Structure 1
């Protein structure tokens, strides 16, 4: 049974579920789901009975913030929602530990655009790691906007997870570290145990 979130954030055009490791927000990991994924489904896969990313994060002292996106959003609009989530996490976080921000599918693209945009605007996103799992490639009309922002965030370490047969429009050299070859089973854990362990070992300490 999926754990209940400790807090629910109502954001513009979206909702986030917050799972804290020790009662207070101290080391946030923001994970943005693919477009149209219900938060309950996202949470169930992040807390799957066969392998729980939420539990593994908590065991290492990391908090998990799950963000759902509408199925009819845009890169720029969804990116604004991610920026709002990052800003709120920084405001509510006790201490100054760096964040980890990323997502899967369209959520990864939204996180990529959000952090790149904050850097372009010289806004401190306090993010130490940006991670992308099967990140969606930008639509043709979004490519110029993303390029104007620098293509991707440059300050955080970039971790790239790409399933077999998937692509995100980025060269492997664009990332600081890449893992490939995994497969996400429908209805199974959000990430494979191999991917989870790889990511956990590379999160900000």
Structure 2
């Protein structure tokens, strides 16, 4: 799998940062609670002329300009240099805290838009968007500016595998992360990392279903939305839901054909049997199902039960990113890592990753609660976006591909 633009994991505790080397950007703007790295299209420039603002996504800690640039430029498609060759000035927007509230980071995006307009030479309109959560941040920012009658001078909004209709993280994985932190989190920072990530403000706002603690629970498909998500969606709705002035573009790292990733429903994903904890986590299926049984040694298990959920793990969509510093563990894989750290022996891992942002969420065409819609062919006429493109296969979340990158560049040239 190619490396994603956005690393969900960020710097892991104890990890040593790689040497940065030469900065690839032309200048850097320090913003309140964020940073913008600016790449001019021409070496003779002292100001932006045709600006494209692209916001970083959800992860641990703060944005790293080198990492963000590397994911965009040194993968399958050299996105930044292609934009520059076509006369665009690229502004990569980073956040001091990528797991902070989307609304708070929208303030950083608004500051960046204002700075861009003030710095711009000429009157070419802006293109503004982002990757994953960055698409939600900029969507909110543009809508808020319009609501406040502030001219954002943006002709194009762009989202890249953004969870417009919510993201998915298996409920058993969430519960197990909290269980491990509660029991052993004070012994090793890694044992608290995943739980803290799941319970961060941005995760609560993006996840369609959220589990905050390791407690016995039975969820119907209509339940499980965190209050922070409910309040965020209400705030977005008060702004009109979307910015009205720009053309709305979006791409998905999942297929638009309805073909999933072949992960079977209601199948064992992790089996851990050790001296301190046992865990049985299963992929999400339909009907009534026990998706997780978790226990401390010689104690009764906690069960996580669901009713009426779609087969979300195998659905078309962008796959949950892997953590290179943890042997490419993804969501189920990270739960296996936690179990191994606690027990001192490996867990049985059948499925490492699963769908993170379903295609219909990334292109805002249907709700992910509906199994039929989740696996149906995308109908562009049902999307809130004006134009969209889906990947030809289910790829890693925010992976920059030639197909998606070329389409974006072509659409920006049309503006």
Please say whether Structure 1 and Structure 2 have the same fold, judged by a TM-score greater than 0.5: yes
Structure 2: how far apart are the matches of 1:109 and 1:185?
19
Instruction: Note if 1:161 corresponds to 2:251.
Output: yes
The offset of 1:39, in angstroms, is 2.2
Aligned partners of 2:241 and 2:57: how far apart in 1?
20
Q: Secondary structure at the match of 1:96?
A: coil
How far apart are the structure 2 equivalents of 1:82 and 1:121?
A: 15
Which of 13, 25, 29 aligns to 2:52? It is 29
Name the structure 2 match of 1:191: 400
The alpha-carbon deviation at position 50 of structure 1 amounts to: 4.0
Q: Secondary structure in 1 aligned to 2:412? A: coil
Q: Deviations over 1:31-88 (max 9, x none)?
A: 0011235322111112215421111011110000001122331111111110100000
Residue 129 of structure 2 is matched in structure 1 by 102
Q: Distance in 2 between matches of 1:181 and 1:49?
A: 16
Give the counterpart of 1:86 among 113, 117, 136: 113
Render the CA deviation track for 1:84-132: whole Å, top value 9, x for unaligned.
Answer: 0000000000000011000011111000000000011111000010001
The equivalent of 1:141 in structure 2 is: 231
Structure 1 position 178, deviation (Å): 0.8
Match of 1:181 among 388, 391, 397: 391
4+ long deviations beyond 6 Å: none
Larger Rg: 2
2:68 corresponds in structure 1 to: 42
> Residue 76 of structure 2 contacts residue 400 of structure 2 at CA under 8 Å; is this kept in 1?
no
- Cα separation, partners in 2 of 1:112 and 1:84, compared to 1, 3 Å: same
In structure 2, what is the equivalent of residue 5 of structure 1? 25
Q: Does 1:61 align with 2:96?
A: no
> Which of 170, 175, 179 is the equivalent residue of 2:364?
170
Deviation of 1:3 after TM superposition, in Å, equals 5.8
* Gaps in structure 1 of 5+ consecutive residues: none
Corresponding residue number in structure 2 for 1:115: 142
Do the aligned partners of 1:2 and 1:48 also contact (CA within 8 Å) in 2?
no
Q: Quick one: structure 1 residues 169 and 201, their matched pair in 2 at CA, closer, same or farther if it must change by over 3 Å?
A: closer
Q: Deviations over 1:160-205 (max 9, x none)?
A: 111211224822421110111355558xx85211111111111154
RMSD: 2.0
Give the deviation of 1:19 after TM superposition: 0.3
User: Does 68-77 or 132-141 show the bigger shift?
Assistant: 132-141
Matches of 2:133 and 2:72, distance apart in 1: 17
Q: 1:200 aligns with which of 396, 399, 409?
A: 409
In structure 2, relative to structure 1, the CA distance for the partners of 1:79 and 1:25 (3 Å cut) is same
Scaled by the length of structure 2, the TM-score of the pair is: 0.46
* Structure with larger RCO (C-alpha < 8 A, sep 6+): 1
Distance 1:2 1:33, change over 3 A: farther
Comparing 24-33 with 64-73, greater Cα deviation is found at 64-73
TM-score, length-scaled by structure 1: 0.91
SS of the residue corresponding to residue 180 of structure 1 reads: strand
Instruction: List gaps (5 residues or longer) in structure 2.
Output: 1-20, 167-205, 207-228, 255-316, 318-357, 366-381
Matches of 1:49 and 1:173, distance apart in 2: 29
Stretch of structure 1 that moved more, 149-158 or 163-172 = 163-172
Please give the secondary structure, in 1, of the residue aligned with 2:24: coil
